[in-house]
Structure 1
């Protein structure tokens, strides 16, 4: 528990520091309330993954089960509940603000699919370079084809993007048809940190290669989300990339 608290503190410190820098340089306006809400939301999400219950019928689905199916399913449910808790009381927010829509922005699908193909090619190229073997057991393939995209896109490109955009408001800029707010930058930074720096037994462990790779892939996923206005293609892209990673 203590390791997890320190890990989250390390993840959030650069995000909060960047937000304060934007205020100091007058690049953005920060809402402390929404920033605290964002931190609280992620704490609940993390608690659902690591400290939730074992769902009946989920544990033991596979022999020598190695993935935390129950925790991830609970995290998905928790994200949906928290999205509702943020949106329902508001008169100006709707589900599409969290990416929960099937509607795709006009002209966004083709360029987004090109980016998806680029992501898959990127991860396959890396795997061919390191040549660390395949991972083709049934549980891995089913898990990677379904859970990571639904879970992490709901949180990072859905709810956290929304609350961090409410927390840090300022000038946005256009990147090849996608409007990029500061909240997207902060969410992508947090995504990269969350996949590369951990505290185990009071010792900080950092994988700088993973930081760069997840930063690139997280940035691509964020661009697709903002270009299409939906988390549908990011979910597909995330799962396709994870699945392709197992074959090389």
Structure 2
């Protein structure tokens, strides 16, 4: 597992580094090696917790025939919080709101965020109706999908990692329907899609192009919500609502 995780991290980050390197060479972005290395280190610590295999007493027997990695995800969420607190404490100019960790929403952003959330749910239901692979309505799945994915991945990908990548890769910005999109957001979205579809398992590469496209589209929608609202609250809701709805079709 350790060697597989190390190799997986390599195939996740090398393409990203190549992309930002080419953008730098083309004069499209400026790079901060310190923040780029911080991004890699932060995500490595997070991933090691997800795949650590550590079992939290009492967590692994909450359900009969438990199937989800509750302990790994809880440890990952805890790690993200610890890393974010450490980052804020050691970087006086940064705040929790810079990572989207705030209840405050940008003016006029809730309505558009709800519309995009509804579109995400409709998109995933449409895909499931096409695939028609059946429902998944056991209690563990419904509780897990309604809580953990959004808390875990939004805190990391659209929170902490977005913050560090936005400091690592700077340049032109674009306003898309009220959301200010920057290179850090684009890189984080590419990494989100790539990291959900390419893995090393028992020394062999496993890639799923369809998963990459779907995750990329949903990740872009979640990123837009995050940038439009200025908070990870609505992305967490949108992420969990989409995953939850997905189980019924």
Matching residue of 2:23: 22
Residue by residue over 1:136-188, the C-alpha shift from the partner in whole angstroms, topping out at 9 and shown as x without a partner, is 00000000000000000000000000000111111111111100110100100
- Alpha-carbon distance between aligned partners in 2 of 1:164 and 1:247, rounded to the nearest angstrom: 35
- Alpha-carbon distance between aligned partners in 1 of 2:16 and 2:42, rounded to the nearest angstrom: 15
Is 1:219 the equivalent of 2:213?
Answer: no
**How many angstroms does 1:62 deviate by?**
0.5
Is 1:31 the equivalent of 2:10?
Answer: no
Are 1:52 and 1:74, in contact at CA under 8 Å, matched by a contact in 2? no
Matching residue of 1:129: 130
Higher mean C-alpha displacement, 49-58 vs 91-100:
49-58
Q: How many matched pairs?
A: 248
- Alpha-carbon distance between aligned partners in 2 of 1:184 and 1:65, rounded to the nearest angstrom: 35
**How many angstroms does 1:65 deviate by?**
0.6
Higher mean C-alpha displacement, 53-62 vs 156-165:
53-62
Higher mean C-alpha displacement, 217-226 vs 28-37:
28-37
Matching residue of 1:192: 193
Instruction: Compute the TM-score of the two structures, normalised by the length of structure 2.
Output: 0.98
- Alpha-carbon distance between aligned partners in 2 of 1:243 and 1:217, rounded to the nearest angstrom: 14
Instruction: Compute the TM-score of the two structures, normalised by the length of structure 1.
Output: 0.98
How do 1:156-235 and structure 2 match up within 5 A? 156-235=157-236
- Alpha-carbon distance between aligned partners in 2 of 1:11 and 1:90, rounded to the nearest angstrom: 27
Residue by residue over 1:80-104, the C-alpha shift from the partner in whole angstroms, topping out at 9 and shown as x without a partner, is 1111111112221100001000100
Q: Secondary structure at the match of 1:88?
A: helix
Residue by residue over 1:26-52, the C-alpha shift from the partner in whole angstroms, topping out at 9 and shown as x without a partner, is 111101111111111111001111115
Structure 1 runs of 4+ with >2 Å offset: none
